[in-house]
A and B are shown apart, each in its own frame.
Chain A
Amino acid sequence: MAIRERLSGNEATAIAMRQINPDVVAAFPITPSTEVPQYFSTFVANGAVDTEFVAVESEHSAMSACIGAQAAGGRAMTATSANGLALMWELLYIAASSRLPIVMAAINRALSGPINIHNDHSDTMGARDSGWIQLYSETNQEAYDNMLMAHRIAENPDVMLPLMVCQDGFITSHAIENIELLEDDKVKAFVGDYKPEHYLLNKENPIAVGPLDLQFHYFEHKKQQAEAMKNAKKVILEVSEEFYKLTGRKYGLFEEYKTDDADVVIVLLNSTAGTAKYVADQYRAQGKKVGVIKPRVYRPFPVDEIAEALSKFKAVAVLDKADSFNAAGGPLFTDVTSALYAKGVFDPKVINYIYGLGGRDVKADDIEVVYNKLLEIAETGKVDSVYNYLGVRE
């Protein structure tokens, strides 16, 4: 019997972490992720977990300690946002290349500069090449569920890659919504134990981690890493299927909302999808055929499935809550259009909107602007501008 609760995304994440009961949590505070280690510290102080909490002096040390702990043979977790994630940047790559299944709660916040504590996706988008698996969450429920599935995905022997669960800072991390929690014993049974083959604390078989890997071997190690990321897609689907049987909540690679007979769709991540679905409902009531696609798995990028799903629409708008500053389009737009082209899907017209940077509020009327433009494109077949900013004062 599930537990009904009303929690913020941060608290739900901390509770998931408590139920997972990792061996080490090494974290440094940064708004809006701070509450995660704070809640967790209370669990530690009250003896609700067996975790060793390491109050590190920077995010760089947080990821360093997580790498040391995971390599030693324990489960390590952390939480951060924005510049905290940026400070860990070199270590994200090292964690992935060392094949350590560390799990992190990434509470999305805009990267400086200028300094801004509110939500956008520039932080985790900046880490998209680091080799981490990235799962995006629209609500506190999704963040909680993704966190419970994280270790089963990351620790799978065909994967062995670190994983970050992303959710919008303040919007879902701090807002309180209804949620269904799983019982402690069910979580424990589902997540299971971490049993690495190689670990530093193995007295019978000591290992060395982190070599100087010269021209002769680096490339093969990277190919292995690439293959592991490819394997992750299948594993994510398998674990999600098992999770569905346990909870009744179904998760795939992306959510398709009212797309069956849609002419046009919006593709976007995290909480704004909620607003988009609301507008889609209203447009549907007026007989307009619109839909929403909300990717959950961004890394690995599900090229085949996205191309297949988008192939039937007349026009698609990809909304990015981060800009790449490549003078061409945001990161999600780039991945989507690349997938379409690679799969020979040339029909839908695809445009890009950069929106909500620095926590700029995104309202229903903004989404209406997008749908209206898409419907216009669907009718005329003409695109006047591909790379657009939505909601900035002209």
Chain B
Amino acid sequence: MAYNLKEAAKKPDRLTGGHRMCAGCGAPVVVRNVLKALKPEDHAVIGSATGCLEVSTFIYPYTAWKDSFIHNAFENAAATVSGAEAAYKALKRKGKLDGDTKFITFGGDGGTYDIGLQSLSGAMERGHDMVYVCYDNGAYMNTGIQRSSATPKYADTTTSPAGKVIPGKMQSRKDLTEVMANHHLPYVAQTALIGNMKDLYEKSEKAIYTPGPAFLNVLAPCPRGWRYNTPDLMEVSKMAVETCFWPLYEVVDGKYNITYKPKNKLPVREFLKMQGRFKHLFKAGNEHMLEEIQQEVDRRWEALLKLAGEA
């Protein structure tokens, strides 16, 4: 169903206020909008890996989740929800349950790209009818902004600090969306917090209501870790997209579809200069680093265009 902001606003919020996420955090915005794609009459079982989202929304005796929710450990959110989904199938088969329950798992880039990668890969490969949403804020934020394999190159984090000899994280970031696309799942998409949330909502809806496993990778800015001006959540997301640092696309049964092509592709420095974690790149003598980042962004964007048949 085509997205209409007013209609979506009428749907009940499945994540309440009263959680302890930081002011201006991107993660709860991702969650609210992904869950908006559920039909109001559908029951959901939501799982989450340990991380900012889980520890802040579920502190005994409070839960900010209106649906059933399970947290287990850090690296196994996908396996845990796959078990719940298996129980659902078995109980339905035995006639003990009726109606439709949807299974949605949230994990940060830490619990998804790194420690949770095996669990995610296994659950997706087994074909469970579930959605895995990664809220990618580019570092292990909950434990204090340590680098992950999703951290962009040269970013300053607490385990890859920009020092006198080593200027931040020296590795390029892993492209998990592509890894998941190569699991040949029915639906894989990369999206962000953009505009009126149409892209995120429609992709969430497709992910939830396509039978079988689906994976969504959503860029979730972190004002603390990225060190941008807190109210600029939507502006920094927009820059990520307009510079093609974070392309918006989907892979439906193996077919690539770029859902947004910037008319005017901006240089990646427009995204980087907003954030304190890249401040050192703008010092004299570090121009080659900006160049390198730009080249890599361009290379990946070109490769994506080719996959989508638009090169």
Contact = CB atoms under 8 A, between A and B. Distances in A.
Given A23-B87, A52-B89, A67-B83, A91 B71 contact: no
Contacts of B83: 24, 26, 54, 64-70, 72, 76
B196 to A, nearest CB: 29
Contact of B82 (A54, A71, A91, A210): A54
Interface in B113-147: 118-119, 121-123, 125-126
Contacts of A217: 60-61
B58 A68 contact: no
A50 B79 contact: no
Nearest to A55: B126
Contacts of B43: 201, 203, 206
Interface in A180-238: 200-203, 206-214, 217
B97 interface: yes
Interface stretch (B21-29, B62-70, B160-168, B275-283): B62-70
Given A24-B87, A58-B122, A64-B72, A206 B67 contact: yes
B99 A203 contact: yes
Nearest to A91: B73
How many residues of B sit at the interface, in one of the four size bands?
35 or more
Nearest to A26: B83
B68 A202 contact: yes
A208 B69 contact: yes
B91 interface: yes
Contacts of A70: 83, 87
Interface residues of A, number: 42
Given A212-B55, A217-B60, A91 B76 contact: yes
A102 to B, nearest CB: 10
Contacts, number: 164
A210 B79 contact: no
B58 A67 contact: no
B126 A60 contact: no
Contact of B76 (A23, A50, A55, A61): A61
Contact of B101 (A57, A65, A201): A201
Given A201-B84, A207-B69, A208-B71, 4 more contacts: A24-B83, A54-B83, A58-B118, A211-B59
16 contacts: A23-B94, A54-B86, A56-B122, A56-B126, A57-B122, A57-B125, A58-B122, A67-B72, A67-B80, A68-B47, A91-B72, A201-B101, A207-B69, A208-B68, A210-B58, A214-B59
